[in-house]
Structure 1
Amino acid sequence: MTLLANIRIATPLFFSAFLAGPTNAAERSIAEIQGVDHKSPIAAAEEVTTSGIVTGHFGSGFFLQSALPDGDQGTSEGIFVFLGSAPAFPVPVRGDIVTVTGQVTEFQPLLQPPLFPTREQAVCGTTQITTVNNQDRGTFLAGTQIYRVSALTVDGSGTLPQPVSFAPPGMNSTIGYADKPHTPFNPTDHPRDYFESLEGMRVVIEEAVVVSRKDRGWDQFWVAPAAGLDADDLTAYGLPLAHAGHVFPEVVQVHKAVGQPAFALPVGTKLGDRTGILTYENGNYMVVLDAAIDETAYPAPTQPTVTAPTNPEGLRIATYNAENLTIGAPGSANRFAAIAAQVVGDLNSPDIIALQEVQDDDGQGATAVVTATQTIGALVDAILATGGRRHLPVALDPMQPNTDGGAPGANIRTVFLVADDSGVEILSSERLFDGDDRCDSSANPFQAARRPLLVEAEIDGTRYVLVNLHLSSKLGDQGLYTNAENPQPGSTDRRRRQAAQLVAELERRYSGNPPVILLMGDFNDHVDAKALEPFHQSTLGFTFLRDHRGENYTASYAFNGVREAIDHFAVGGTGLANPTVTYLNLNADALTQVSDHNPVVLVVH
C-alpha cells in the first residue's frame, strides 16, 4: 500500500491562521482540551499550548495525537489543528513531533458534496424556482479544534501511535439508539459518545468489508468490520439489513486517503485491515484512510448462494422506482434501454408496471412543460425493441407545474404501463388529492408531493383498485450523529398524514362492497414504521407482502450502507388468495445502477 500522509488537498476553508505576539497560553494535554464530553471544557477562544505527533493531513490542517495518553477511555487523544488556506508556518509532515499554540474552538464542519450551502426550491403551482439556504449544517455536531495558530515548532520525529481497534457499542449486539438523552457521557454503552471519545485519533477497522457501492466519483463510502457482520443482521446477499431495534453503529463511513486517485469498488469487497483517523463530516462520523486503495488488488467478491425466486404463472404486477426518468436527460436512450432490459428479462415482462419518479419531458428546470408523453413513449418503445410486450400508458399530468415535489421543475409523477395483451380492462383513472387545495400544506398533506394514481380495473371478471403511490421522502430527518441526543424523524408526521388521508378516501369509496385493493410503490418507510400505521389500522384490512423467500430477501434500497425495504405491495379489500412477491436485487447494490431502487414483482395466481 502506498502511504499518502504527506499529500494535502484544499477542501474546506475554515478560518485564517495568523501570527500573534507573545502569549500566556496555558500548557494543556490534548486529552485535557478534549475533555470527557462532546465539547471542550476549555472556554471558547482560550489560547493553549499542546504537543503531539502529526498523524495525517486533511483539508486545511493536520491531525495531532498525544504520545502520552492519559488512560481515560472517555477522553480523545487526538485533535485537528486548522492552519487555513495560506499557512503562516511550514506545514509539518506525518510523524513530526509538534508543539502548537492556538485557540480552542468548537466548529461545525462546512457542507461537503453531495451537500451544498444552497439548494433550489420550487414555488408550488408556478414555474418559479428560488434558491434557499441549506440548513443541514446547523444540525451537525461540532468538532474540537485548535485554530488561530500563533506558534508552531517541530521538535523532532516519532513513531505513530498504535491505532485503536474500531469496535463501537452494539457492534456484536442489538442496540436501538446512538445516545440516551439526559444521561452522562458514556462511550462504553452509547455509540455517539464512543465516536466522540476517538475524535481525531487513529483507528483500525479490522477486516473491513465494503457495504455500500463505491462510485468512482465519490470520496466516501461505507464499510464494516467483518466481526460486526452478524448473520442475523444481513440480507441473503451478506449485507446489513435494517430491522427494528438496531442502528448499526458498526457500519461506518470512510473517506479515501488524501490524494487517492478515483476508484470504484463493488459491495462485498474485502479490504483487510484499514487504518485511518476518525473525524466528522456531513452529519456522520468518518474515518479518513491512511493509505490508498488499489482497486486492481482486490478480486471481485464471491457472490453468496441464494434461493432463486419462483416464477409462477399468473397476473404479474411490478413496482419500479425509475429514479428521475426523463427523455430530457443526457444519455437517456441508454437509460431507457437498460430499464427495458430489466423489465423484459429480470421482471419477465409484467402485465402491469407501476412506475414512480417519472419526470416531465424536459426534466429539471423552470419551464412550463408538465407533460411526460415523450418520456413514457420512449420507455414503451424501448421495452418493445428489447423483445417485450407493447404497453399502454395510464398517466395523468399535473394540473399545474411544481405541485408534486421532487426535483424543481421536473413535475415528477407516478405512471402505470399495462400490457395490451394482458386482459386487464382499465375502467377509470384519477390523480387523487389534486383539487384547489393542492398547494395548501395545512389542508392537503400531498402538497408538493407525488399524487397517488388510482386505477379501477377488471381482471378476469374480478374488480381491482390499483393505487400507485410515492409518499414523501425522509428529507430533513435528524441523523443519528447530529446534535440531537434523541434524533427525531421529522418527516414521519407528513407521511402518516398522507397515509391517513389515502386510507380515509379508500374507505369512503369502497368499504360497502370492497374490491381487491392493491397499493404499490415507494412508501419511503418500513412496514412497521409509525408513518404507515394508518394502513395497518384500516377497516379495509391491508396486509404488506414480503418476499416469498424470507425477510432477508426483502430489501429495495440502500442508505448509508444498510439495506431497507421501502418499496412495497399491500393488499386489502377482498384480498388475494395466494400472492407471491419477489424483491429483485438488481439495482440497490449494483456498482453501475439503472435505478437506486430494486423493483418488486407480485404474481397473482
Structure 2
Amino acid sequence: MKVSNEGRRFGLYGLRVPAVVSGVLLSSLALLVSLAPALASPNGVVISELRARGPAGGNDEFVEIFNTSAGDVDVSGYRLQGCAAASGNPSDRTTVPAGTVLDPGDHYLFTNSGSGGYSGAVPGDRTYSTGFTDFQANNASGARLVDASGAVVDGVGSPNSPCREGAGITTPATTGDNSFERRDGGRQDTEDNAADFVGPKAGGPQNLSGAGAPGPEITKIHDVQGPGAESPITGRTVTVEGVVTGIDDEIGASFGSGNSIRRFPEDAGIFVQEEPADADQNSETSEGVFVGFVRDRAAYTLGDVVRVNGRVNEKFGHTIISETINREPEKVGTTPVPDPVEIDAARAEGQDPQARPYYESLEGMRVRLAVGTANSGGTNKFGELFVTPGTEQDRVFRTETEPALIATDADAGAGDPDNPFRDPDGSTTEVEADLFDTVSGATGPLLFAFENYRIMVQEDGLPTVTDTGVTYPYEELSPSGPKQFRVASFNVENYFPVGGALDGGNVSQEEFDEKTARLTDATNGRLKRPEVVAVQEVYDLATLRALAASLGGYTAYLEEGNDSRGIDVGFLVKDGVKVEGVTQYGKTATAPDGLDCSDVPGGLFDRPPLAIEVQAKGFGGFTVFSNHFASKAAPDACREAQAAFVRDRVAELEDAGRRSIVAGDLNAFEDESALRTLEDGETSLDNLWDAAPEQERYSFAFQGKLQTLDHVLVTSGLKNRIGDFRYAHFDNDYFERDDQAEPDGHHVSDHDPPVLTLSK
C-alpha cells in the first residue's frame, strides 16, 4: 500500500476513517499534533542519535545530542525528557549541569544507568535512571530536549508520541543494537523523524570529550558517479552508505584450453543507492552504484542500509566500487527501498546514441520500464532479452541506430553457479520472451555491460510478458515437393560427443542425448528435412552419424580439419540424393604472409571447406560447399583470404562446366570484404541474402542487434532454379523452452539456418 505524506504525518498508515468520527478521536489527534514540536531546532542543537531496547535489554538506552551550528551553544540547564507510554506526558529524566557549552561539532551523551542499562563502551556525559518504557509501548514513547525555560529544542518519538516530529519512528520490538541516527552526519532536520533518521543500525554514540569519534568520511554516491560517463574520482578509495536495491549473483567466467576456467568474482555483488533524502538535485548524476567482489550476497536483502569501503573503478564503461579485501559491506540499518525511476521513453529515444547520457544518469539506480517490445529476437543463451520502450514492433538491425535499446539481465536469480555456462537450474529472474512479445514492468538496478545498458531484474521486479510476438512453434516451411530440392546451412553450435570438453565441463550422456534430440526436431520439424544440410561445429564423423541415425534416412559426411577445439564442417544428405564425390579443400593451404588465421602456424583454415558433388533428379549435378570461416576475433583479411580460396575453387568448377552452391557460417556480414571477394566477378557467385524477405535478413543476434553471418551463394547455372530463399528463424526469434514434453528444436543453436529451395 502506498501511504500518502499526510497519512505518514498523522501516523494513520492507511487507516480508513469513517465519515462520522467521534469527537474523542478527533480531539486526540489534535492533542498529538499540538504537542509535537513544530519548528526546527532554534539554535542548531539536535538529538543526533538514540537507542531504546539495546543489546542488554529494555534499559540499554542512550540519547546523543549534537551542536550543528557554527557557534558555541550554552546548554546549561537543558533537560532530557521522556514521553511515558501510559500517560503520554513528557517528564524530566536528567538536567545538564551549569557551565556546559557545546562548541560547533560537539556531542553530548545521555546514558541510562538503571538496572540492565547502557552497555556501550563510550561513557556518557550525564546519566538518567528512568527509561523511556521503550518506544514499542503503544507506539507512544519518545525523548525530547528542552532548554532551561522549558522551550522545546528537539524531539524524537514513536508514531503516537507527543515527543515526535512528523511521522515519528518505530523501533524494533526485540533487543539488539538498534540505534537510529540522524542523516547527513547528524545535521538533517526537516521536522519529520521518519525522513530525518535512518535505522535501526549499529550504534556509534559520541560524548563531549570526543570519545566515540565519528566513523569514516562518507562519500555521496552521486559524487562517485559524477555528471559524465566516467567517475571523476576513479582510483580513489571511498566509503559510501546506501540502500541495497539489488544483487548480481553470478560471477564472470571464461574458459581456456580443456576444462580450465578463469573466474571473475568482481562481476558479482550488490547495488546500493542513496536514500532519497540524501540525493542531490542534479539530474545528470546517478544516485546508485554497483559494488563488486561481495561474496556473501545472500546476507543482504533489499532495504538493508549498508556502509561500503572500496576503490572506485571504471570497468568497460561501468562505474563500480570494488570492495576492499576482507571488508564486506556493513549493515547499519534498514529503510524502505527507493521507488524505481520510471524510464522516460521519449528521453531514451532522443539521447545521443553513442554516449546515451540519459541512461548514464541512471546507472546503478533502481529503474522500471513500463512497457517494452522484444525487437531484437527472443531471450538469448546469456539470459538477456533486448527490448525497445513502447509497443511498436520493429526489428533492430546491425546497421541501425537505436539509442533506447535496453536489455533485461537474469544474473540476479542465477544462484551463484560455479560454471555459469553449464548451470542446469537456470535463473529465477530470467525474462522469457519471443520476438515481438510485450514486456511490462521490468524493475531493477540499471547497469552497463557489453556495450549496452540493462536492467538487472530482481525477484520483486519480474515483468509480465504478453504473447504478442511470433507464433510458436515455427512452421514457416513446408516439406519440399517432388519438383523441389532444398539445401540448408546449419551451424549446430558445439555438437560434441559424450566426454567432449565444453565450457569448463565434459558433455554427459544426458546432455548429448538432449542435444541430439533437439537437433533432430530442428531438422525434421522446423527445416522439414532438406535434401542437403551443410553443417558446422560438429566434433567428428561419429557424432554427426549419431544425428543422422536419429533423423533416419540421412547419411553423414565429414572430414577432420585443423581446429584445436575439434569442430568441423560436414553434410547430412537425404536418402535418394546421389553423392558422386566428397572433397576437402585447403587443409594445408597457407595464409598470406603476416596473417595468423589458423591454429596451425601459417595455415589458412581451421575448418577447411568440404564439398560434395550431388546428382539431383531433375536438377542435374552441382557441387555444394560447407564452410566455416575464421571467427570474428580474427582479422577481416583472414576471412577475405579464405573467401578468395573458395572463389578460386568455384572458378575451376565453372571452367569445367559445373554449378556450385557456397554455404555456411562465413562469420562475415553481407557488406564485408569476404562477401565482396566471393562476388568480385571472378565467378558468377551471387549472395542470396537480398533475396530473403527484407525484414528477415538475419541469422544471428549480437548485443541486441540482428545481423547475418550465415550465407548461401549460387552460380548462374542455378539462379533460374531458385524457388525460395529465407532464413529459418527458429533459433534467434525464440527463447529456449525447457518445459516441453517432447524435444524442442527452438533455440538449439545461436544461428538461424539459411534455406534455399530449388524448383523445376
How does the TM-score come out when normalised to structure 2?
0.55
CA displacement at 1:248 relative to structure 2: 6.4
1:355 aligns with 2:535: yes
Q: Distance in 2 between matches of 1:557 and 1:290?
A: 28
* C-alpha contact (below 8 Å) 1:434/1:451 kept by paired residues: yes
Q: 2:284 aligns with which of 55, 70, 74?
A: 74
1:205 aligns with 2:415: no
1:2-33 Cα shifts (integer Å, max 9, x gaps): xxxxxxxxxxxxxxxxx9x9799666543232
1:455 to 1:275, Cα distance in 2 relative to 1, 3 A: same
**2:576 match:** 421
Q: Distance in 2 between matches of 1:162 and 1:376?
A: 51
Q: 1:555 aligns with which of 690, 698, 716?
A: 698
Amino acid paired to 1:506: V
Q: 1:376 aligns with which of 539, 544, 564?
A: 544
CA displacement at 1:342 relative to structure 2: 4.0
1:554 to 1:214, Cα distance in 2 relative to 1, 3 A: closer
Q: Distance in 2 between matches of 1:150 and 1:447?
A: 51
**1:182 match:** none
1:439-475 Cα shifts (integer Å, max 9, x gaps): 998476664621111234454574523211111223x
Counting only pairs closer than 5 Å after superposition, residues 320-335 of structure 1 correspond to structure 2 as 320-328=490-498, 329=507, 330-331=509-510, 332-335=512-515
Return the index of the structure with the highest Cα Rg.
2
The sequence identity of aligned pairs, in percent, is 21
Count matched residues. Answer: 485
CA displacement at 1:434 relative to structure 2: 0.9
CA displacement at 1:569 relative to structure 2: 1.1
CA displacement at 1:56 relative to structure 2: 3.7
Q: Which runs of 5+ in 2 are unaligned?
A: 2-203, 205-211, 249-267, 416-426, 499-506, 738-743
**1:287 match:** 455
Amino acid paired to 1:34: Q
* C-alpha contact (below 8 Å) 1:214/1:266 kept by paired residues: yes
CA displacement at 1:359 relative to structure 2: 1.0
**1:602 match:** 756
**1:435 match:** 588
CA displacement at 1:212 relative to structure 2: 5.6
1:298 to 1:197, Cα distance in 2 relative to 1, 3 A: closer
Q: Distance in 2 between matches of 1:91 and 1:344?
A: 49
**1:106 match:** 313
Q: Distance in 2 between matches of 1:57 and 1:337?
A: 36
Q: 2:343 aligns with which of 126, 149, 165?
A: 165
CA displacement at 1:582 relative to structure 2: 3.0
1:64 aligns with 2:273: yes
Q: Distance in 2 between matches of 1:83 and 1:604?
A: 56
CA displacement at 1:257 relative to structure 2: 4.5
SS in structure 1 opposite 2:573? strand
1:253 to 1:497, Cα distance in 2 relative to 1, 3 A: farther
Q: Distance in 1 between matches of 2:231 and 2:428?
A: 36
Counting only pairs closer than 5 Å after superposition, residues 450-529 of structure 1 correspond to structure 2 as 450-459=607-616, 460=618, 462-474=620-632, 476=633, 491-507=635-651, 509-510=652-653, 512=655, 515-529=658-672
Q: Distance in 2 between matches of 1:537 and 1:143?
A: 46
Amino acid paired to 1:453: L
Q: Distance in 1 between matches of 2:273 and 2:725?
A: 54
1:247-286 Cα shifts (integer Å, max 9, x gaps): 6651324235457747672425544112211124566543
Q: 1:55 aligns with which of 220, 245, 260?
A: 245
**2:228 match:** 37
Q: 1:141 aligns with which of 314, 317, 324?
A: 317
CA displacement at 1:535 relative to structure 2: 1.8
Q: Distance in 1 between matches of 2:215 and 2:495?
A: 62
1:380-410 Cα shifts (integer Å, max 9, x gaps): 32222xxxxx334443233xxxx125xx2xx
SS in structure 2 opposite 1:537? coil
CA displacement at 1:298 relative to structure 2: 5.5
1:412 aligns with 2:567: yes
Amino acid paired to 1:64: Q
1:153 to 1:525, Cα distance in 2 relative to 1, 3 A: same
Counting only pairs closer than 5 Å after superposition, residues 525-536 of structure 1 correspond to structure 2 as 525-536=668-679
Q: Which runs of 5+ in 1 are unaligned?
A: 2-18, 109-139, 174-186, 235-239, 361-371, 385-389, 477-489
1:267 aligns with 2:410: no
Amino acid paired to 1:469: N
* C-alpha contact (below 8 Å) 1:222/1:254 kept by paired residues: yes
**2:421 match:** none
**2:8 match:** none
Amino acid paired to 1:466: V
1:217-242 Cα shifts (integer Å, max 9, x gaps): x8832241441x644x32xxxxx4x2
CA RMSD of aligned residues (A): 4.3
CA displacement at 1:105 relative to structure 2: 1.7
* C-alpha contact (below 8 Å) 1:555/1:565 kept by paired residues: yes
Amino acid paired to 2:558: A
CA displacement at 1:333 relative to structure 2: 4.1
Q: Identify which of structures 1 and 2 has the higher relative contact order when contacts are C-alpha pairs closer than 8 Å and 6+ apart.
A: 1
Q: Distance in 1 between matches of 2:271 and 2:596?
A: 52
Amino acid paired to 1:350: P
Q: Distance in 1 between matches of 2:731 and 2:234?
A: 50
CA displacement at 1:577 relative to structure 2: 0.6
SS in structure 2 opposite 1:586? coil
Q: Distance in 2 between matches of 1:55 and 1:333?
A: 41
Q: Distance in 1 between matches of 2:477 and 2:589?
A: 45
**2:715 match:** 572
Q: 1:314 aligns with which of 477, 484, 502?
A: 484
* C-alpha contact (below 8 Å) 2:451/2:703 kept by paired residues: no
SS in structure 2 opposite 1:498? helix
1:247 to 1:464, Cα distance in 2 relative to 1, 3 A: farther
SS in structure 2 opposite 1:220? coil
Q: 1:449 aligns with which of 582, 606, 621?
A: 606
1:289 to 1:443, Cα distance in 2 relative to 1, 3 A: closer
* C-alpha contact (below 8 Å) 1:92/1:154 kept by paired residues: no
Q: Distance in 1 between matches of 2:378 and 2:428?
A: 17
CA displacement at 1:417 relative to structure 2: 3.0
SS in structure 1 opposite 2:679? helix
**2:523 match:** 343
Deviates more, 1:447-456 or 1:197-206: 447-456
CA displacement at 1:199 relative to structure 2: 1.8
1:245 aligns with 2:400: yes
Q: Distance in 2 between matches of 1:93 and 1:590?
A: 30
1:155-190 Cα shifts (integer Å, max 9, x gaps): 774661541416497x658xxxxxxxxxxxxx6453
1:204 to 1:154, Cα distance in 2 relative to 1, 3 A: same
1:557-601 Cα shifts (integer Å, max 9, x gaps): 333454433222111254421412132233332524633133332
**1:583 match:** 727
Amino acid paired to 1:391: Y
